[in-house]
Amino acid sequence: MPASVTLPLIRHELQVLSELVPLEGQRIIELGCGNARLARQLLQVYPTSYVTGLEVDARQHAKNLADPREHLSFVAAGAQDVPFPDASFDLALMLKSLHHVPLHLMDQALGEVARVLRPGGHLYVSEPVYDGPLNEIVRLFNDEGEVRAAAQAAVDRALAQGPWQQLAERRFDMPVHYADFNEFEQRMMRPTFADHALTDELIQCVSVAFAPHCGPQGADFVRPMHVRLLRRMDCAGVTS
């Protein structure tokens, strides 16, 4: 996409999701749910739906279990091995999570999603784009260029080989705010699910790169996002 193109600024991704798929009374699975923030927002607006969040990070999973809410459940599992029967869900969400699946398991993960979705069900894949000032800072300690490209390639393969039809694509910017470098370090450099092999020298290098973006009110960035909406077809190539 040309650098001159101005993308819409979306503060809450639920806005994009709700424009693309029905959310009332749905059986939803989120693969790699993290803290399940969007799932909790979704259930506030669509209380007749049910969301199951899968998470492989044991520490985050424990936090999720300690903060229950109605119609939201959590399972310790990865996208490559979903512990549910065929056709259990109407909608699957992968929110910045496909690129975290091990490279050799991405195809298997998307195959599992196809298995647990009913024919006519939807897969919403939202991935950060490898671009922008925030990305330039993050890649100093966590370069995701390879895995993000691999995630998009895996979706392409799924479309070519699996029971999928792509219905829509969306590109937009999401605002990201950090009060200071300490908050950036805790949120981005020291996640519970990854070890970025931080050293004092590396932290200092990242701090120097972060400093020009931070003022008295903190640092504000945008994260460019790429959404692809797929529909699961049945074996005959139709959707229901």
* pLDDT, tens only, 9-39: 999 999 999 999 999 999 999 999 999 999 9
Helix ranges, the chain (H) = 14-20, 37-45, 58-65, 106-116, 133-138, 145-161, 181-184, 200-210
As given in the structure block, the two tokens for residue 46 are 């669509």
- If you search the block for the tokens 């009913």, which residue do you land on? 118
Phi, psi for residue 61 in degrees, rounded to 5: -60, -40
For residue 126, give Cα distances in angstroms to 33, 39, 110, 167, 185: 12, 14, 14, 14, 24
pLDDT for position 121: 98
DSSP 8-class letter at 7: P
For residue 114, give Cα distances in angstroms to 31, 50, 232: 13, 19, 6
Strands 89-95 and 27-31, by their bridges, are parallel
Q: What is the pTM of this model?
A: 0.94
Among 230, 14, 236, 15, which Cα is nearest to 121's? 230
* Predicted confidence (pLDDT) per residue in 37-95, tens digit: 999 999 999 999 999 999 999 999 999 999 999 999 999 999 999 999 999 999 999 99
Residues 6+ apart with CB under 8 A from 8: 172, 173
Phi, psi for residue 77 in degrees, rounded to 5: -165, 160
* Predicted confidence (pLDDT) per residue in 196-221, tens digit: 999 999 999 999 999 999 999 999 99
Instruction: Determine the Cα–Cα distance for residues 10 and 117; give it in Å rounded to an integer.
Output: 28
* Exposure on the CB side of residue 236, measured as CA atoms within 13 A: 3
As given in the structure block, the two tokens for residue 84 are 């549910």
Q: Please state, rounded to an integer, the average pLDDT across all residues of the chain.
A: 95
Residue type at position 178? Y
* Predicted confidence (pLDDT) per residue in 154-199, tens digit: 999 999 999 999 999 999 999 999 999 999 999 999 998 889 999 9
Show the domains of the chain with their CATH numbers: 14-129+144-173+224-232 (3.40.50.150)
pLDDT for position 69: 95
